[in-house]
């Protein structure tokens, strides 16, 4: 009975499971949580129940010492944080996470171990604190069209359609080699400060004196291993999973025309401008990242409704492009651009304001919810 209460029974539920060669696997996500001042990585089931990964792993190891069980995966060192989970996922932590997820199903109504929580009991933190955040600029044609029309006072400029290679486009040696049949413009990535990261449930703060604050609901690629010079055809191998990022953007400009008036630091890296999460979905549970629906609602009104199939450069091409510029490391995040429907392109423009509620959703990945507070308002907490 002690063995059963600890959850050392493998019973796999058919609902919410992935069928593999080894059998059905319960679909799970990873998150970072706070419980009474203690931070831990959790295995999230059904967006409702959370297993404390490290504590559960230690409990299973103790039980195995008392009751040897040949069905258990090999012992692994408990993860310290999300970056540790990502870095060691392929060397034992995947099998342990699957075991623990199935274990919870195997309880069959018995009392849950103390290391299992309802999500509502916990404070959700940003799932990972990236060392580097890269974001794609204008990676959906329709978004390019709406932003071009905005710059031209409502009329899109003449020339090749948005996303098409402008005249004079050529390869960037060592960074992006163009194929003769490729009619797209080259990818464009920019840095976004990791200090801008906040969690699901935390508040986007309107910066002092800034009034033109916009949303961009994006799929986030979470890097799983150190990567340099990765071909697009091999990029899936270095991806750990997927999350959501709201690439909050300041459209107010810098007040002069230096560098053409462009300033990515002002535009993208104010504090709180990178809501991230709520969780990370391992890549094995996302059947096709190139075909996911995305929606964004503001105060209950749908503003964006798109699909990742509309990207100009897909998640694998962006990962390859980034790896040709810099070494990517476990836990780094690449934001893959946003579909049409941002506020600054509307007539009249719609900007984030105090009291707003933003909801960004990607099919199969999750829903990222953040309130908006004014510059003088106290930051909201979960």
Contacts of 48 (CB under 8 A, 6+ apart): 118, 119
Does some domain include residue 121? yes
Q: pLDDT tens digit string along 321-333?
A: 999 999 999 999 9
pLDDT at 109: 65
Q: pLDDT tens digit string along 4-57?
A: 334 433 333 334 555 444 456 789 999 999 999 999 999 999 999 999 999 999
pLDDT at 329: 98
- For residues 20 and 163, membership in a common domain is answered with no
Four-point Cα dihedral 197, 364, 238, 284, nearest 10: 140
Residues of the chain with pLDDT under 50: 1-15, 19-22, 153-155
β-pairing, 333-335 with 217-223?
antiparallel
- For residues 228 and 315, membership in a common domain is answered with yes
Tokens, residue 19: 């069928």
pLDDT at 150: 81
- For residues 227 and 298, membership in a common domain is answered with yes
pLDDT at 62: 77
Last residue of a domain, one of 93, 125, 157: 125
Does some domain include residue 378? no
- For residues 95 and 187, membership in a common domain is answered with no
Query: What CATH code is carried by the domain that includes residue 221?
Result: 3.90.850.10
pLDDT at 7: 40
Contacts of 214 (CB under 8 A, 6+ apart): 248, 249, 250, 251, 342, 343, 344, 351, 352
pLDDT at 14: 34
Last residue of a domain, one of 94, 125, 156: 125
- For residues 194 and 292, membership in a common domain is answered with yes
- For residues 270 and 363, membership in a common domain is answered with yes
Does some domain include residue 225? yes
First and final CA of the chain: distance in angstroms? 38
Q: Give the closest residue to 268 by CA, choosing from 246, 253, 249.
A: 249
Count of structural domains, the chain? 2
pLDDT at 31: 98
- For residues 257 and 223, membership in a common domain is answered with yes
3-state helix, strand, coil in the chain (%, to 5): 25, 30, 45
Q: pLDDT tens digit string along 199-218?
A: 999 999 999 999 999 999 99
- For residues 15 and 79, membership in a common domain is answered with yes
pLDDT at 380: 54
Confirm if 292 and 308 have CB atoms less than 8 A apart: yes
- For residues 194 and 308, membership in a common domain is answered with yes
pLDDT at 154: 45
Angle at 83 between CA 78 and CA 89, to 5 degrees: 60
Does some domain include residue 382? no
- For residues 179 and 284, membership in a common domain is answered with yes
Does some domain include residue 263? yes
- For residues 67 and 156, membership in a common domain is answered with no
Does some domain include residue 169? yes
pLDDT at 5: 36
Does some domain include residue 380? no
Does some domain include residue 381? no
Q: Residue 146's domain spans which residues? A: 133-373
- For residues 186 and 275, membership in a common domain is answered with yes
């Amino acid at each position: 009975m002690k063995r059963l209460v600890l959850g050392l029974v493998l019973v796999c539920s058919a609902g919410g499971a992935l069928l593999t060669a080894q059998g059905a696997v319960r679909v799970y996500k990873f998150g970072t949580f706070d419980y009474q001042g203690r931070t831990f990585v959790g295995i999230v089931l059904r967006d409702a129940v959370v297993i404390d990964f490290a504590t559960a792993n230690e409990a299973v190891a103790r039980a195995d010492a008392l009751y040897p069980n040949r069905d258990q995966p090999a012992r692994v060192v408990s993860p310290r944080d999300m970056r540790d989970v990502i870095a060691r996922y392929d060397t034992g932590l995947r099998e342990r996470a699957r075991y623990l997820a199935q274990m919870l199903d195997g309880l069959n109504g018995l009392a849950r171990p103390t290391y299992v929580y309802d999500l509502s009991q916990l404070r959700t933190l940003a799932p990972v604190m990236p060392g580097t955040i890269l974001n794609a600029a204008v990676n959906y044609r329709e978004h390019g069209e709406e932003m071009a029309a905005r710059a031209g006072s409502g009329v899109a400029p003449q020339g090749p359609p948005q996303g098409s290679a402008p005249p004079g486009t050529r390869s960037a040696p060592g960074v992006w080699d163009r194929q003769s049949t490729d009619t797209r413009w080259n990818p464009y990535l920019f840095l976004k400060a990791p200090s801008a990261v906040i969690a699901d449930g935390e508040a986007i703060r309107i910066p002092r004196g800034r009034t033109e604050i916009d949303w961009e609901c994006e799929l986030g690629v979470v890097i799983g291993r150190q990567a340099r010079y990765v071909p697009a055809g091999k990029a899936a191998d270095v991806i750990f999973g997927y999350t959501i990022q709201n690439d909050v953007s300041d459209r107010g400009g810098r007040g002069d025309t230096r560098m053409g008036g462009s300033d990515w630091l002002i535009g993208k890296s104010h504090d709180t401008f990178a809501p991230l999460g709520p969780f990370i979905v391992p890549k094995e549970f996302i059947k096709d990242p190139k075909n996911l629906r995305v929606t964004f609602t503001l105060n209950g009104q749908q503003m964006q409704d798109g699909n990742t199939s509309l990207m100009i450069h897909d998640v694998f091409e962006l990962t390859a492009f980034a790896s040709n510029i810099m070494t990517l490391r476990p836990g780094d995040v690449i934001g893959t651009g946003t579909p049409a429907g941002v506020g600054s392109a509307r007539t009249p423009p719609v900007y984030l304001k105090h009291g707003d509620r933003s909801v960004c959703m990607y099919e199969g990945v999750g829903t990222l919810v953040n309130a908006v507070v004014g510059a003088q308002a106290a930051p909201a907490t979960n």
